[in-house]
Structure 1
C-alpha cells in the first residue's frame, strides 16, 4: 500500500515542518507564501502518513502541545484570509485547510480548554478560510455542491421574512415599530448568506424568481413609505452580526431590488436614508442631539457609571466629562488604556476660536539607550523593560486644572469608577475576547495572575464581575489626594514604581517620574481647507500633519464635489490613494519635535500653501514608484490598538483625544501593588537594524533617547468654520498606521463629499502607507472599482491584514443637529450620549 511504503523520515520531516510553521504563526504574521506552504505540507502529510501516525493529542510532544495552544489562540486573533494562492496549488491548499479543521484542530483542542462558544467561533474562522479558497475554485462545480442546501435555506428564509414584512398578516407591527426579533433574524440570515455563499449565489436581479421580484418591488415601496422609528435595543451578543447583515442589506440586496422598476432619484435617496437609520437604531443608541454630545465609547461605563450629560448639565464641561470617562475606561478597557499609559488630545474653544494640543504621551526613561533592544526585540514588547514613563494621570490633572469648568471637584470625576470597581468590573464581550487571546501571557507573567478567574482557571468571561482590588485602592488614594501628581510622580507611588521596576528588570526610576511634564501646545498645527474650513491638531509625535495633508489635497482637488461623484468616479479613489502616499512619505521623516527640529519644521511646512501646491503639481493620473513621493522609503506596515472617548460642547469647547497603552494589555505586566497595567510604548521607537513589533523599519528620527517620546499615528482633530469659528467635526481613530487613512477618509467623505457621518465611517477601507507600495482594502470594497484602479491608474492591491482603522466622530450639521457615530468595526457596545 502506498501510504505504508512512505519512508518514515519523510513523514517526520513533514510533521516537523508543519509544527515549525505553526509555531512561527503563533509569534509572527505569516505571509501568503508561508501559509500556502503550510497547508500543502498538511495535505501531503495526511495523504502519505498512515492513520496511526496522524497528529494526535496523545502522540504530541510538550513543544508541540505548546504550539497547539498558541495556534488556537492565534486563530482567534489573526486568522486572515489567504490573499494570493497560486492557481496550481489552490486545490492542495484547500484540502490542507480541510484537514486542519477536521483532523488537527480537534486534537489541538484536547490540549487547551476553551468554552464551547469559542470552539464554534474558531470553526467559523476556519470555515471562512476554506470559503476564501473556494472562491479560487468556483469553476470547479463539485466543490460548491455541499453548500447548496444551506445557501438555499438561507435564501428562502430571507425572502420569507421579507414577504411577511410587507404582508399585513405577517410580521407584527407595534405602533411604528417593525418587530425586532424577526427583523434581527432577517439580517442575521443575510449576514450568514453573504458570509458563506460564493458570489455567484448572491441575490441579484438575474437570479430572482418572479415571486422574489414581486417581493422586492413591494419591499422597496414599503421602506419608502414606512415611518421608521427608534427600535428596542439589539442584544449585545448578536450586534456585530446584525450590523454586518444591515450593511449587506443596504449595499448588496437593496441595489438589486431597485432594478425591478423605475424609481425617482429623490425616492431612492429617502430609501437609503431609511436604511442608514435602521443601521443606527439597531446597532447603537439614538445618536442625534440638539445641543451637546459626549462619546464615552464603552457601553459598560455608560450603563454602570458615567453619564457625561449629567456632568455637563450640573455645571461641568466637556473636559470634566472626558476625564470622568477616561478614568472609567482605564478600569473597564484595561487592554487598551489606563494609568500606565498616555494620551494625545486636541481642545478647541469656539468662543475664542483657538485650539490647544495636549501631549501626555509616554517617554523614554533616563537609563534607555538607542541600541537597548538590539538582539532583544521581545523585551521592547513584553515585560517591565518595555514600559515608558506614563503620562496618563499627569495629563488628566493638567487638563482638569487648566481647562475644566472649576465647578466640579476632582474626586467627583474619580468616584464613579471607584463605585464600579467596588463591585467588580463587568466584563464586556470585547474584553472577554481579548483576554482569551492574551491568556498565555497572563500565565507567563506572575504579575498578571489575577486576570485568571480562580473559580474556572480561565480568564474572566463576558458578564462576569472581575475584581480589581489593587486598582480600587489606588484610585481611592488618587481621588482623595490634594495633588494626585505629587502622589504619583513625586511621592509614595513613585517609590513603589521605582522599587517594582528595579525588582523586575524595568528601568523607570522615581527621577524619571519626577521629571515628567505634560506638554501643552498653545499654538498647535492649523490647516486651512479649500471649502472654508480649518482643521487643527497636535505636532509630532502626533500623526496629525500627515492626516491633514490627505484631507487638504482632496479638499483642493474636489472643491465643488458631490456624493454622486464620490460613487461614480474611479479617479476620486486614485487621487485618494496618491494623497495618502505623499502624506505617509512625509511621516517617515518625523519624530519627537523636542528632539528632532527638522520634524517640527516639516510639520509646519506641510500646512503651507506652497507645500500643498508642490504636492498638487505632482498629482497625476497614474501611480508611480515610491521614490517619486519623497520621504524615507524604508518604512513598513504597522498595526496597534488604541481606545478613544471624546466629547463636544456646541457653544464652548471641544476635545478629541487618543489614549493608549500599546498592544493589548501593553507590556502584559502590571504593578503588583498599584494594579496598574504598564504600557509597551518603548516598542513604538525605532531600533537600528530592526523593525519594531508593528513592522515599522528603523527610522533615525525615531531612535530611542532619554526623555524622548515615540512617534504615533494618533491624530485627534477638530474641524471648524474658518469664519464663524463654529465646530463642524470632532474625530479620531485607532488602528496603528491605519489611523491616518481611516480618519482622513471619514472627514473627506463627510465634509468634502457631503455624506452623513455614518456613511463616511461605514464606507469601505482604502489604505496606502507609502511603503510597501500596495493599497489595502477590506471585504466591502467593490471589486469592479478595484479592477479599474489597477487597470486604468496602475494601483496595486491586497486585502487588509492585521487591525483595521476604527473611527469615532461627532458631526455638527448645518441645521444645528449633532450626529454621533462609532465605527461598526469596533465590535464593542458603543454608547453615545447627549442632551
Structure 2
C-alpha cells in the first residue's frame, strides 16, 4: 500500500469538517423549528403539560349544617309588604332590598344581588366569570322574558377536545367557556330595569363590598376545604383566600377582593357591560391570557363574539285547580323538561291522598320526574351562529313535541300507581347528557309586582380553579357540561348527541327557575329557583307540587326533605331525615331507594293576600331573605 498524499489527506479532513458543521447547523435549525412548532401546537390545542388535582368528594356542594328538617323555625320566613329578595346570602339579599327602597325595579335589585353572591362567600358557585339564566316579568306586560346568558364554547373548541384527558374539562384553562353572566345582567337592566337608577348605582355597592371586605361565614371555609389540593396546585393566584400565616380562611376571618373591586369600578364607570367584552380592553385580554397559561384555548376575541339569547319565556297554562300560568326559561336550559313533567303530573286524575310523602301521590311525582329526566336528554343548544336551516327546524321540532298535550297524554298512560316501569329504556331517553354541578339562585319581587328569578353558576366549586389575580375574576369550567363522545358513563350509555361540543355553542344546563302567575289577576303568585345541578328541575317541580297540590306553605315546601330521580342511575334518592314508611312503599313499587344528604338549595317568594313571603334555604346553604 503506497503512502498517502499529505495534501490530499489535509483537504479531505477539512472537507469532512465543513460537512459536519453544515450538518450540525441543519440539525440544530431543524430541532429549533420542531420545538417551536410543537410549542405553538400545544398553545393552539391547549395541550400544555398541565397538572390536575384530584376531584373533591363533593365536587359542587358542601354539606352545611344539618340539611332538611320537618321542624323548621318559622322566624326564617321574611314577611314583607313592599318588596323582597331571597338569595343564598343575607348580606346580598339586603343589598338588593336597598336597591328596591331607592325606587329600583326587581330587575335592578336582581343585578346587585347577583353580583354580590358572586363576590362574597358564595363566590365558589357563581360570579362574572360564569353564566346565568334569567326569567323576568314586568307587571304591566303579558308574558315573561327568558334571557339565556349561559357560557359559550370558545371559537377553537371542537367535539373531541377532551379525548384522553377528561379531567381537563373540570380543572384548568381548557375547561373555561366564554363568560355570559355580566352581559345577561346588563340585558336584564336594559330590558326590565326601572330607569330610576344608573348602571353604576347597581354595580358600585358591590365594588365597595369587595374592597372593604367582610368576615367569612361557614360557607367559604367549607368550600375551600373541599378544594385544598387544587388550591395548593394553583396557589400563586389565590392569595386572597389565605391568611398571612399561610392558613386558609376560616369562619370569622376577614376577606376582601380589591382586584375584583377594581374590575367592578371599571364596569360601573363604563356604564355598560361593553368594557368586560372588549377584546382590546382592560379585562378580556388578562382573562384570556390567564386561561391560556393553564392550557386553555380562550382568546380575547372570543369575548367579542359572546351573545345572550333573549326570547319569550316558555309557558304552561292551566296549572293546578287554580289554572295558573308557569313561565320557565328557554334557550339551553331545562325549562322544556320541567314544563313537560308539570303537564304530565297536572293531568293525572286527582283521586288519591294529595299529601306530601304519601305512597300514591309520591309514586306519581317520581314517575313524572323520570319522564322529566328523559326529556332532558333530548335537549341541547343549536348555537347562536348556526345558520343551518335544517338543523334549526329539527331543533324546534324536537323541543315543541314535548310541550304538546298529546305527548303528555301518551306519557300518562305509562304511569302506574302500583309499580315503576321495568327498565330506564322504557322511558325512551336519548342517552345521558353530562351532569351539571354547582349553582346559586335568587328571586326578587318589587312593590309594583315586577319579578325576576335568576340561576347563576361557575359549575364546580370555584369553577375551573383558574383565578386571574389581575382582575380578581374566577373563571368557570362549563365545558364540563358538554357531553364527551368518547366517554360512556357507569351504565355504558353513550352521551347525548345533542350536547356535543361545538364552537360558540352553549352546554345544556339544568337551570329552570320559574315564575307562577295568576291569569285572573295578572299578578305574580310565586317565584322559585334552585341550585344543585341535575337536581334543580326535580327540586323546583316538587316544590311547585307541594305548594299547589299539597297546600303546603313556602316554609315547609322548602325545608322538608326532597325526592330526586334522574332516570339514570335507576335510584330514587330520598333526602334525610328518612321516612321508612315511604321508603318501603317505593321499594314495593320496584324502585331502588337510597337515603342521601342534601344536594340542592332553593330560594322562593310567595305572594298571598297582598303579603310577600320570602324564603331562602337556610337549612342547606345558610341562605336568608330580606324584605321591607
TM-score by length of 1: 0.64
Partner of 1:699: 496
Query: Hey, what does 2:617 align to over in structure 1?
Result: 823
- The Cα of 1:327 is off from its aligned counterpart by 1.6
User: Equivalent residue for 1:629?
Assistant: 427
Deviation at 1:414, TM superposition (A): 1.5
**Shift in CA distance, 722/433, structure 1 to aligned 2, threshold 3 Å:** same
Of 776, 780, 798 in structure 1, the residue corresponding to residue 577 of structure 2 is: 780
Is structure 2 residue 605 aligned with structure 1 residue 810? Answer: yes
- Residue 354 (structure 1) aligned with residue 143 (structure 2): yes
After TM superposition, give the deviation of residue 667 of structure 1 in Å: 0.2
Q: Residues 700-741 of structure 1: CA distance to partner in whole angstroms, max 9, x if unpaired?
A: 100000010000111011111133222111001111111111
For 1:516, the equivalent position in structure 2 comes to: 306
Mapping 1:208-223, distance limit 5 Å: none
Change (3 A) 1:696 1:503: farther
Alignment of 1:577 onto 2:375: no
The SS at the match of 1:618 is coil
| Counterpart-to-counterpart distance in 2, 1:657 and 1:488 | 21
Partner residue of 2:224?
435
Map 1:210-249 → 2, pairs under 5 A: 240=65, 247=69
1:645 to 430, 442, 462: 442
- Please list the CA deviations of residues 758-794 of structure 1 after superposition, one character each: whole Å capped at 9, or x if unmatched: 2222232211111222211122231112112222x22
Match for residue 348 of structure 2 among 554, 557, 560: 557
- Quote the residue 2:97 is aligned against: 309
Output the CA distance in 2 between the equivalents of 1:665 and 1:75: 12
Partner of 1:115 in structure 2? Answer: none
The answer to whether the Cα contact below 8 Å between 1:447 and 1:670 also exists between their aligned partners in 2 is no
Candidates 27, 50, 74, aligned match of 1:280: 74
1:301-450 aligned at under 5 Å gives the runs 301-302=92-93, 306-332=94-120, 333-450=122-239
Tell me, in whole angstroms, the C-alpha distance in 2 between the residues paired with 1:502 and 1:74: 27
Q: Deviations over 1:365-398 (max 9, x none)?
A: 0100000001001111101111000011111211
1:413-492 pair list within 5 angstroms: 413-492=202-281
Are residues 653 and 604 of structure 1, via their aligned partners in 2, closer, same or farther at CA, if it must alter by over 3 Å?
farther
Distance 1:75 1:832, change over 3 A: closer
Q: Provide the C-alpha distance between the structure 1 equivalents of 2:230 and 2:327, rounded to a whole number of angstroms.
A: 39
Given that 1:530 and 1:552 are in contact with CA atoms closer than 8 Å, whether structure 2 keeps it comes out as no
Q: Where do 1:22-41 residues align within 5 Å?
A: none
1:732 is matched with 529
Q: 1:688 and 2:477 equivalent?
A: no
Q: Tell me what 1:798 maps to.
A: 594
The answer (yes or no) to whether the contact 2:433–2:482 under 8 Å persists in 1 is: no
Q: CA deviation at 1:551?
A: 2.4
Question: Would the alpha carbon gap of residues 623 and 523 (structure 1) be closer, same or farther in structure 2, given more than 3 Å must change?
Answer: closer
Query: Is the contact between residue 384 and residue 501 of structure 1 (CA under 8 Å) also seen in structure 2?
Result: yes
* Residues 168-187 of structure 1 mapped to structure 2, 5 A cutoff: none
Unaligned runs of 5+ residues in structure 1 are 1-68, 81-238, 251-275
Q: Secondary structure at the match of 2:533?
A: coil
Tell me the distance in 2 between the aligned counterparts of 1:545 and 1:316: 31
1:300–1:428: 8 Å Cα contact kept in structure 2?
Answer: no
Q: Secondary structure at the match of 2:413?
A: helix
Contact 1:640 1:735 in 2 (8 A): yes
Matching residue of 2:332? 541
| Secondary structure class of the residue paired with 2:462 | coil
**Counterpart position of 2:48:** none
Moved more, 358-367 or 614-623: 614-623
1-side partners of 2:61 and 2:450: how far apart?
A: 40
The whole-number CA distance in structure 2 between the counterparts of 1:372 and 1:759 is: 45
| Alpha-carbon RMSD | 2.8
CA distance in 2, matches of 1:638, 1:701: 14
Report the 3-state secondary structure (helix = DSSP H, G, I; strand = E; otherwise coil) of the residue aligned with 2:542: helix
Whole-angstrom CA distance in 1 between matches of 2:336 and 2:305: 28
Instruction: State the secondary structure of the residue aligned to 2:119.
Output: helix
What is the total number of aligned residue pairs between the two structures? 564
Contact 1:637/1:772 (CA < 8 Å) preserved in 2? no
Please give the residue correspondences for 1:662-677 in structure 2 after superposition, counting only pairs within 5 Å.
662-677=459-474
Pairwise CA distance, 1:627:
2.1
Cα distance in structure 2, aligned partners of 1:576 and 1:364: 35
Distance 1:601 1:322 in 2: 33
CA contact (8 A) 1:623 1:795 kept: yes
In structure 2, list runs of 5 or more residues that go unmatched.
1-52
Alignment partners' CA distance in 2, 1:720 and 1:556: 19
Higher relative contact order (CA 8 A, sep 6+): 2
Shift of 1:405: 0.6
Partner of 1:769: 566
Partner of residue 152, structure 1: none
Equivalent residue of 1:566, what SS? coil
Deviations 1:192-211 (A, max 9, x none): xxxxxxxxxxxxxxxxxxxx
Q: Is the 8 A contact 2:514 2:527 kept in 1?
A: yes
Give the match for residue 199 of structure 1: none
Cα deviation per residue 1:34-83 (whole Å; 9 max; x = unaligned)? xxxxxxxxxxxxxxxxxxxxxxxxxxxxxxxxxxx989x75999999xxx
The match for 2:520 is 723
> Aligned partners of 1:287, 1:523: CA distance in 2, in Å?
28
Is the 1:350–1:651 contact (alpha carbons within 8 Å) kept by the matching residues of 2? yes
CA shift, 1:496, in A, is 2.5
How far apart, in 1, do the equivalents of 2:116 and 2:222 lie? 19
**How many Å separate the matches in 1 of 2:357 and 2:474?**
48
How far off its partner does 1:673 sit?
A: 1.5
